[in-house]
Amino acid sequence: MPRLLALACALLLAACAAAPAGDPMAGPLTLQSQGSFFIGGRAVHSDTLSTLPAYAPSGTVAVDQMYVRQMTPPNASPLNVTLIHGCCLTGKTWETTPDGRMGWDEYFVRRGFATYVVDQTWRGRSAGDIQAINAVRLGRAPATALPTVFAAGREAAWAIFRFGDQYPQTNPGLRFPLAAQEEFWKQMVPDWLNAQPTPNPTVPALGELSRRLGRNVLISHSQSGIYPFQAVAQNPAGIAAVIAVEPGACPNAAADVTPYLHTPMLVVWGDYVPQAPRWAPRLVNCRAFVAKVVAAGGKAEQLVLPERGIHGNSHMLMQDDNSLQIAGMLVDWIGANAR
C-alpha cells in the first residue's frame, strides 16, 4: 500500500512538474546534486613546512589545486556555468549578497544551469604554499624571499570597486548595498596572486574543468577577467562561451586574435567607468579587442550597461540591487550565443 501511494504520488508529481511553472525564483530550491571537489594541484616536498615541534618540518603537501563547489538542478541544461571571483575575494563573491539577497550561484541554478563556484588557487579553500615564510623565519632565506601578498584596504578598494571616486564619497545613484558594507569588507581576503606564476594555475584548472564538463560557460570577474581568455588560448575544448564581467584585462587587441575566433565572448561593464582612471582604459582596450575579433569573423560583444539605459552599477555588479536583472541578461546572451 505505501508503495502504491508512492507510485501515485510520483505520477502526480511528474504531471505537476510538466504544468506551467510558477516563478522559478520563488519557493524551495531543488537540486539533483550538490557537492565539491578539486581540480589540478601538484605535490611539493619541503623542509620548511613548520617551525613548531608538534608538526614535522619535512613532508609533501599539495598546492595549486582549485576548489570547486557545484549545485545542479534537475533536468539541467547541457550548458554548465562556472563563476570565477576577482582580486582579494573568494567564491563567496557569488553567494548571498552582503545585504542577504540571492547570489548568482543560486540564480543560475534556478535558471536551469549546473553551476560551479571556484576559489582561485592559493585563495579560500584552495591551499597556498607557505614554505618560504618559514624559510625566512628560520633564517634560511632573506626577507626578500617572502611571498608577495597584499590585502586591499577599504579606503583604496572603495574607488577600485567604484563605490565613489574617493572614500567615503558615493557615486550618485549607486546600486551597491552600502548599508551592508561591513559584511562586504569581511568577504575580502589576502591576495597571493603575485606569488604565483603567469598564467595563474587557476587558468589550466578552468580548462580542465571545462573539458570534464563538456560545455562550460566561464564567467570571470575583475582580476580573473583574463583567465577564461587565457584558458581558451591554451585549449578551447569544453569552453562553450566566455563572459568577462569587468575584466582587469582583455587580450591585447594588437596581437593575434586567431585563438579567440571560435569561442563566443561577452564583456560586461557597469556604470561610472569613463571617470575611473583604473577602469576607463580597460574598457577602451576591451572594446578594441572585441572589434578586432568581430572584424576577423569571431563572435564577440561588449555590453556596457549604461548604454542600455541601466545606470548605477558598481564594479561588484553581482551584488548590486539589480544583480539578478543583469544575471538574466547573461542567461539570455548564453541562450543565444553559447556553443
Peptide bond just before 168 cis, omega within 30 deg: yes
Window 61 to 80, contacts with its own copies (CB under 8 A) = 61-62, 65, 67, 69, 71, 74
149 near its own copies, rule: CB under 8 A? yes
Q: Is residue 106 a contact residue for its own copies (CB under 8 A)?
A: yes
Contact flag: residue 16 with its own copies (CB under 8 A): yes
Residue found by looking up cell 617551525 in the block: 51
Which residue, 129 or 271, is less far from its own copies as judged by CB?
Answer: 129
φ, ψ for residue 83, nearest 5 deg: -105, 125
How many residues of this chain bind its own copies (CB under 8 A)?
Answer: 87
Q: Does 329 bind its own copies (CB under 8 A)?
A: no
From the list 84, 86, 92, 227, which residue makes contact with its own copies (rule: CB under 8 A)?
92
Q: How far apart are CA 304 and CA 51, in angstroms?
A: 51
Contact 260, 300 (CB under 8 A): yes
With contact defined as beta carbons under 8 Å apart, do 225 and 203 qualify?
no
- Tell which one of 131, 202, 220, 319 touches its own copies (CB under 8 A): 131
153 scored as a contact of its own copies (CB under 8 A): yes
Residue of 76, 178, 188, 288 that binds its own copies (CB under 8 A): 188
Going by C-alpha positions, the residue among 86, 224, 68 that lies closest to residue 152 is 86
Reduce the DSSP state of residue 240 to 3 states and report it: strand
Residue 292 Cα distances to 30, 95, 234, 274, 333, angstroms: 43, 35, 20, 21, 20
Nearest-approach distance from CB 277 to its own copies, in angstroms: 12
Quick one: residue 264, left, alpha or beta (phi over 0 = left, psi -120 to 50 = alpha)?
beta
- The one segment of 41-49, 201-209, 227-235, 269-277 that binds its own copies by CB under 8 A: 41-49
56 binds its own copies (CB under 8 A): yes
* Residue 276 in contact with its own copies, rule: CB under 8 A: no
The least CB distance from residue 15 to its own copies, in Å, is: 8
Piece of 122-130, 199-207, 297-305, 331-339 that binds its own copies (CB under 8 A): 122-130
Q: In the beta sheet, which residues pair with residue 220? A: 84, 244
Interaction pattern, residues 154-183, with its own copies; x per rule: CB under 8 A: xxxx------------------------xx
Q: Which span sits near its own copies by CB under 8 A: 37-45, 200-208, 266-274, 287-295?
A: 37-45
| Burial state string for 268-284 with b = 16 or more CB within 10 A and e = fewer than 16 | bbbbbbeebeebeebbe
